[in-house]
Amino acid sequence: MRAICVCPGPIETDMMRQSLEASGDPAATRKVWEAYRALRRVAQPEEVAEAILFAASPRSSFMTGNLIVVDGGGTMGKRV
């Protein structure tokens, strides 16, 4: 049995857009979310999907007990 966890950061989705709208200042909130990441942007759904596809594929057959962090560097240098 294998276990791999994909840990995404903010993703450009309807849920994210709703959260931004609810913040009161969507542009400012988005800038804060982007500034926290080393890549200075949020993920596209396809970027996270690629990590999930890799984890589910035979190419990851020797991996288990791992985290695949897809957060644009938001946790870089931090303990997770």
Domain count, the chain: 1
Instruction: Tell whether 10 is covered by a domain.
Output: yes
Instruction: Tell whether 77 is covered by a domain.
Output: no
Q: What is the pTM of this model?
A: 0.83
pLDDT value at position 80?
58
pLDDT in tens, the chain (80 residues): 899 999 999 999 999 999 999 999 999 999 999 999 999 999 999 999 999 999 999 999 999 999 999 999 998 877 65
HEC profile of 4-42: EEEEECCECCHHHHHHHHHCCCHHHHHHHHHHCCCCCCC
Instruction: Tell whether 51 is covered by a domain.
Output: yes
**Domain range enclosing 13:** 4-70
The H or E element containing residue 49 is helix 45-56
